[in-house]
Structure 1
Amino acid sequence: MVATTTTQTVEQTVDVPEVAEPSKVAPKDARELSKLFFGQLTVLEEGTPEYSYARDTLIEMNMSLVRYAAGRFRSRGPEEMEDIVQVGMIGLIKAIDRFELSREVEFTSFAVPYIVGEIKRFFRDTSWAVHVPRRLQEARTQLARAHEELRTRLGRTPTTKELSELMSLAEDEVVEAQLAANGYKSASLDAAINSSEDGEAVLANFIGDEDKALERVEDFHALAPMIAELDERDRKIIHWRFVEELTQAQIGQRLGVSQMHVSRLITRLLARLREGMLSTE
């Protein structure tokens, strides 16, 4: 049921229709009512309660456009469909805020590209956890539809051969699409998982970390024989400085030489070892 209220403004009188349940208005009726509400938006002052009511009613009346556009992506799971509808609503709101009656075009024709564009942008920005070629992204969607169709028809999980026949693709291409689908979503490292030994744990506990010290193993193996070739005094200097971490002054006291002399000895030793390391690469 649609009623009409009259709002008095300083300059003019505006008739604002009242719709009891905007979200339940039939699409055909919504098209006609939308024209009336868009007309009101052109004369109402933005920020007033009347303007907000007209805008909100337009949004609710045209939610069917979002459901229609989201239906193109019905192969997605039910949880993801909720996100698709929410993103589509953003597109609808943008269309309402940018539509002008003077364009002389149906609002539905104007709004659907905005809604679909917002949904596609959502997929582009968030869907794939890793980069895969576009042909495999498209194959994944085709694979999901074929899998659901065959599962419903056969009452079981379809084989790769059955999928390839329905999709008109070679079996190896179907396998490639199945592997690429693994990159569609990623799991949080903080995701809780069940462990028989530790009870509930997080995924990060079961993923190895890179050990920076391993990078030095080869260097140590290459350096060891070169240090062995040094005379006893030079080996002691290397040991005191880099194992016991003595200062140059402390090493000088043990050798009975000045700190400056120790500095020159260490510089010479390091240059010799560095040259030997570079020659082994």
Structure 2
Amino acid sequence: MTESTAPRTEPTDPAPAHTQPPDPAPVHTEPSDPAPTPPDAPSNPRPRSSRAADARALTQVLFDELSKLEPGSPEHARVRAALIEINLPLVRYAAARFRSRNEPMEDVVQVGTIGLINAIDRFDPERGVQFPTFAMPTVVGEIKRYFRDNVRTVHVPRRLHELWVQVSGAIEDLTVLHGRSPTTAEIAERLGLSEEEVLACLEAGRAYHATSLEAAQEGDGAPGLLDRLGYEDPELAGVEHRELVRHLLVQLPERERRILLLRYFGNLTQSQISAELGVSQMHVSRLLSRSFARLRSANQLEA
């Protein structure tokens, strides 16, 4: 019976079978092996830099080939398209600088690609300049032009655009230095500007989109700006005239001033005034004409 129990200890041999599941792990890793196609990828500590170097080398080769082809030919178009595709990471790198502008990154990349195409068409390999060095200002300039001319609905002076770049950089530096948002005075002292100029730059930096006066305010459900704005009083234009008339009326004799008040403030006719004052209507008409002549002579605006 002891021998019958001995074979029961053999099921411990399948224990390695429970250790077999780690073996398929390399099987699952094999599909990922073709992903790093460059053979030196596992041994290279900085594969991104190596890819950039490969892209620069390939760009140089393609430019050498492009210079030998006739513009407009199918081969020239094919090499040109390859140059655009290889250098698209350069455009994405430049577009990432404008990520805080709240614009769709696809649109920014598309605009930057236009700058890349312009750089490819103007690049001269014989000048001894690396293409990324030559193309980056063109790509960034095209993106900035897009933000300046198409994105902003409120156009601000170019000088404020340039100062805004300096102000935004100073804000970042001072925030890191002090561990808080800098004040307007600190920014002005940093850049050697006045506080009014800094405030103008801050307003220009936020002036990308115009807000509709009829749009409701977010959050508290407050009415739109149009409902909270004042209106022009139609009687406001008459304030100056009333003050002028009051100043001129005090210069008239008592009876003539009363006739004018009854005629134009009491809305009485000349016959009603004559009955009120006990004089003829013709005399009322003469007094009105004489009063008008005095008022016109005393009115400096009429003079």
Query: Under a length normalisation based on structure 2, what TM-score does the superposition of the two structures give?
Result: 0.49
Residue matched to 1:185: 206
1:69-84 to structure 2, matched below 5 A, reads 69-70=94-95, 73=97, 77=100, 79-80=102-103, 82=105, 84=108
CA distance in 2, matches of 1:67, 1:119: 11
Residue matched to 1:118: 142
Residue matched to 1:205: 227
Partner secondary structure for residue 204 of structure 2:
coil
**Of 230, 233, 236, which aligns to 1:214?**
236
| Cα shift readout 1:22-76 (whole Å, capped 9, x = no counterpart) | xx9853254135416634763434xx7x7665544433322223234446x46x6
CA distance in 2, matches of 1:172, 1:51: 52
Residue matched to 1:65: 90
Residue matched to 1:278: 301
CA distance in 1, matches of 2:211, 2:79: 46
Question: In structure 2, do the counterparts of structure 1 residues 148 and 207 end up closer, same or farther at CA, with 3 Å as the change threshold?
Answer: farther
Residue matched to 1:108: 132
Report the AA paired with residue 83 of structure 2: L
Root mean square deviation of aligned Cα = 5.3
Residue matched to 2:112: 88
Q: Is the 8 A contact 1:192 1:202 kept in 2?
A: yes
Residue matched to 1:44: 72
2:55 equivalent to 1:27: yes
Quote how far apart the aligned CAs of 1:142 are.
Answer: 1.9
Partner secondary structure for residue 160 of structure 1:
coil
How many matched pairs? 225
**Of 226, 231, 235, which aligns to 2:248?**
226
Residue matched to 1:4: none
**Of 148, 163, 167, which aligns to 1:140?**
167
Partner secondary structure for residue 35 of structure 1:
helix
Report the AA paired with residue 91 of structure 2: V
CA distance in 2, matches of 1:150, 1:192: 39
Question: In structure 2, do the counterparts of structure 1 residues 111 and 171 end up closer, same or farther at CA, with 3 Å as the change threshold?
Answer: closer
2:164 equivalent to 1:160: no
CA distance in 1, matches of 2:101, 2:85: 22
Question: In structure 2, do the counterparts of structure 1 residues 67 and 227 end up closer, same or farther at CA, with 3 Å as the change threshold?
Answer: same
CA distance in 2, matches of 1:274, 1:41: 89
Quote how far apart the aligned CAs of 1:204 are.
Answer: 3.7
CA distance in 1, matches of 2:227, 2:62: 55
Question: In structure 2, do the counterparts of structure 1 residues 138 and 28 end up closer, same or farther at CA, with 3 Å as the change threshold?
Answer: closer
1:7-26 to structure 2, matched below 5 A, reads none
Partner secondary structure for residue 183 of structure 1:
helix
Report the AA paired with residue 96 of structure 1: I
Report the AA paired with residue 189 of structure 1: T
| Cα shift readout 1:105-125 (whole Å, capped 9, x = no counterpart) | 554344233223324444655
CA distance in 2, matches of 1:270, 1:107: 85
| Cα shift readout 1:186-239 (whole Å, capped 9, x = no counterpart) | 35231542374xx46444433445557534422322224535755566667767
Question: In structure 2, do the counterparts of structure 1 residues 44 and 133 end up closer, same or farther at CA, with 3 Å as the change threshold?
Answer: closer
Question: In structure 2, do the counterparts of structure 1 residues 148 and 53 end up closer, same or farther at CA, with 3 Å as the change threshold?
Answer: farther
Question: In structure 2, do the counterparts of structure 1 residues 64 and 70 end up closer, same or farther at CA, with 3 Å as the change threshold?
Answer: same
CA distance in 1, matches of 2:139, 2:63: 19
Structure 2 unaligned spans of 5+? 1-50, 268-280
